[in-house]
Structure 1
Amino acid sequence: MFPSHESSCDEEVSDGLISYAPFSDGKDDGSWPKDSEERAQRRRANFLGLSAIINRLAASGRPVTCMVCTLSMLAVGEVAREHRLPFAVYWIQPTTVLATYYHYFHGHDKLIAVQHGINPTYEVTLPGLHPLKICDMPTFFTEKTQNDLSKMILQALRELFEQMDQEKPTVLVNTFDALEDVALKAIQPYMDVVAVGPSVPPLGALQHKNNASEAQIHLFKHDEKNCMEWLDTQLEKSVIYLSFGSLLAYTKRQAEEILHGLQCYGQPYLWVVRKEGRAEAVDLCLREVKAGKGMIVEWCDQQKVLSHPSIGCFVTHCGWNSTLEAIVSGVPMLTVPSWSDQPMNAYLIEKEWKVGIRAERDAEGILTREELANCLELLMGGSEKATQIRANAHNLKERAHETVATDGPLETNLQNFIKSMQNKFIGISNLIQ
């Protein structure tokens, strides 16, 4: 993010509203820690770097009054404790997943592990939640052979929940009441949870966002002009939009299966294939693209695409950001989950909210052409189920827009959170004095 700063944290970058202060974790090449020892070293480096920023801001007359971290930054809580600052966690997955992790780390781990080995479809009833199949839970619970990354992530999450047990921070969740009222009520007895989602701009802001000064930063290079102009030529709700997020690359066989499934169904498509997995898929689909039946892009402004009237459905990996963007846009989803929270997100989309259906992978983990074509027909066709899914998606979109409206629940929750952090800071300051 700050290649010119190297390891320095003496300078800040501002976009006019938010200021960014870079710091080093001891190894700035973007790699994951190789083992627990390296993870501990980076955590210590994070602690020292953040502490230096806190001290520098205080010395300049701008004392920090609250610290907020995501689920992967344990050092923030440690720094907050050291400096006696109010501390909050920003949970970037559904509340249902938050509650599931909480109960997994508070006595349900053995039950889940045992039953998964016997029957992955076994339903577990966690306090306050609807019954959940073990196979729909986060994959870190259910992997038969955990790799080093999965072990590291699960251990980091365990440490985060231990930290939250000790510090009792406010937990901000990227969700809203109309979406997860059951889960929000279920977790309230165990932690102070505040719904601060959906953290995506409303459609009106997107559709009128032509000011160059409001340009967004994207993970990968994209050609927005050609993409949107092509969508403008398509019929309403006719285009299949496919994207499996910023991490997954396509194997040759998976690219072939998707291509043939799209050909079989016959509707126009917009397919995001990142550079890492692009060569094989582009070679396969070049003739289709030239014929005008589809378009392949390395990246796009996803929410702007989802809000386009030509989009009929979203074939998605079920990352939480993608899920919320589809909900805000009212687009039905064909879910193809892979790992982490994605299976549970797919469950919520299909079973609780009924705004999509789930595609099943074969024994090798491949979405086959037959499954893709059949699911697209079920989701985009004229059946009673497809009509109901579209109606549900529209209704949920309306509820999301009500949430983000001026003086709506999102704004109220954020204002109340800020006031509570201010009061905590004043209280701590008075105790210190």
Structure 2
Amino acid sequence: LFARCAFDSIQRHKVIENLQQEAESFVLPDLPHHIELLRSQVEDPIKSIPSVLEIFNQAQEVDSNSYGLVVNSFYELEQDYVEHFRKVMGRKAWLIGPATLCNQEGADMFGWRGETKVGEECVKWLDGRKQGSVVYMCFGSISAFTAAQLREMALGLEASSHPFVWAVRNAGEDWIPEGYMQRIEGRGLLINGWAPQQLILNHAAVGGFITHCGWNSCLAGINAGLPMGTWPLFAEQFFKERLLVDVLKIGVAVGSKVFGITSEDRPVIKAAALEAA
């Protein structure tokens, strides 16, 4: 509900419309915490893809006419914003999460798509690492990056000196730095495509999670008790970064400052920023 409250604040107070042209950042009014965003981290409706904007407008209309929301969250996680949603915004909500808890045991742990081999190999690799030493990095199933960005990610993970598991969605190997696979042998595990995320996050060897701040990923990391490196890309992910970093104080920002639906819309974040985070 935090993202709902943040978006409502922007709309209700016409924050973007009233923002001075030279202003690079703004504070969201009337929220329980001091929440500040860069102008570049909020989607510009003028630059929106028309079809996406139309879907968004339709969703808003349906939402405003609905009786209430069933939310994949839990009260203790965002208590102030549940109360804000109900009392200030005047909306009904029932929090029934975290939904991922139903997958802690069973088929999902070793691949609900039947990809048991990936899960077994992951467990074997993680079993050989010290407790809390591994960084896991994953950006979901719809997030792509340029080859230049992937190279910086690869070098940043390498420079961190931490063992790591990295789920890479992009096809091909043209982005892999020369000699990289040899240098990270035994310290880095790259998974191309689907990864058994629940299994990885809840393994004792994993000590941190770098995520794009999609809500399912955020909740999975929170359930596992992991600190998070936040790397939002688009949608409401920049709002959720503020929840993790400023409100819950369980995240550290890697340095993503530009909202971009396509990978080409986003400037490259250098390896040193990922290494530092």
- Normalised by the length of structure 1, the TM-score is 0.55
Match of 2:2? 96
Equivalent residues of 1:222, 1:297 under 8 A apart: no
Match 2:174 to one of 280, 283, 294: 280
Which has the larger share of helix? 1
Equivalent residues of 2:45, 2:53 under 8 A apart: no
CA 1:342–1:313 in structure 2 vs 1: closer, same or farther (change >3 Å)? same
Following the alignment from structure 1 to structure 2, what is the Cα–Cα distance between the partners of residues 370 and 283?
15
Paired letter, 1:182:
D
Following the alignment from structure 1 to structure 2, what is the Cα–Cα distance between the partners of residues 137 and 96?
20
Match 1:368 to one of 261, 270, 273: 270
Equivalent residues of 1:239, 1:267 under 8 A apart: yes
> Deviation at 1:144?
7.7
> Deviation at 1:161?
3.0
Following the alignment from structure 1 to structure 2, what is the Cα–Cα distance between the partners of residues 334 and 255?
16
Following the alignment from structure 1 to structure 2, what is the Cα–Cα distance between the partners of residues 369 and 192?
44
Following the alignment from structure 2 to structure 1, what is the Cα–Cα distance between the partners of residues 8 and 51?
17
Equivalent residues of 1:137, 1:341 under 8 A apart: no
Match of 2:34? 131
Per-residue CA deviations over 1:111-154 (Å, capped at 9, x if unaligned) read 3233174323221213x5423324389733xx385131xx4434
Q: Secondary structure at the match of 1:114?
A: coil
| Greater relative contact order (CA < 8 Å, ≥ 6 in sequence) | 2
Q: Secondary structure at the match of 1:272?
A: strand
Paired letter, 1:318:
C
Following the alignment from structure 1 to structure 2, what is the Cα–Cα distance between the partners of residues 283 and 222?
27
Q: Secondary structure at the match of 1:344?
A: helix
* Unaligned 5+ runs, structure 2: 259-265
Equivalent residues of 1:251, 1:277 under 8 A apart: no
**Aligned sequence identity (%):** 23
Matched, 1:184 2:79: no
Match of 2:136? 241
CA 1:308–1:99 in structure 2 vs 1: closer, same or farther (change >3 Å)? same
Following the alignment from structure 1 to structure 2, what is the Cα–Cα distance between the partners of residues 165 and 263?
47
> Deviation at 1:224?
1.4
Q: How many residues align?
A: 266
Per-residue CA deviations over 1:391-421 (Å, capped at 9, x if unaligned) read xxxxxxxxxxxxxxxxxxxxxxxxxxxxxxx
Per-residue CA deviations over 1:315-362 (Å, capped at 9, x if unaligned) read 111111110000000011011111111111111111100111001148
Following the alignment from structure 2 to structure 1, what is the Cα–Cα distance between the partners of residues 117 and 54?
36
Match of 2:205? 310
Following the alignment from structure 1 to structure 2, what is the Cα–Cα distance between the partners of residues 217 and 159?
33
Match 2:187 to one of 283, 293, 298: 293
Equivalent residues of 2:136, 2:208 under 8 A apart: yes
* Unaligned 5+ runs, structure 1: 1-94, 376-433
What do you get for the CA RMSD once the two structures are aligned? 2.9
Per-residue CA deviations over 1:131-182 (Å, capped at 9, x if unaligned) read 3324389733xx385131xx4434433333333333x422111111111111
Equivalent residues of 1:360, 1:371 under 8 A apart: yes
Q: Residues 11-410 of structure 1: matches in 2 within 5 Å?
A: 95-105=1-11, 107-108=12-13, 110-115=14-19, 117-126=21-30, 128-135=31-38, 139-140=42-43, 143=44, 146-148=47-49, 151-166=50-65, 168-189=66-87, 190-201=90-101, 206=104, 208-209=105-106, 216-217=112-113, 223-274=118-169, 276-282=170-176, 285-289=180-184, 291-298=185-192, 299-361=194-256, 365-375=267-277
Following the alignment from structure 1 to structure 2, what is the Cα–Cα distance between the partners of residues 323 and 230?
24
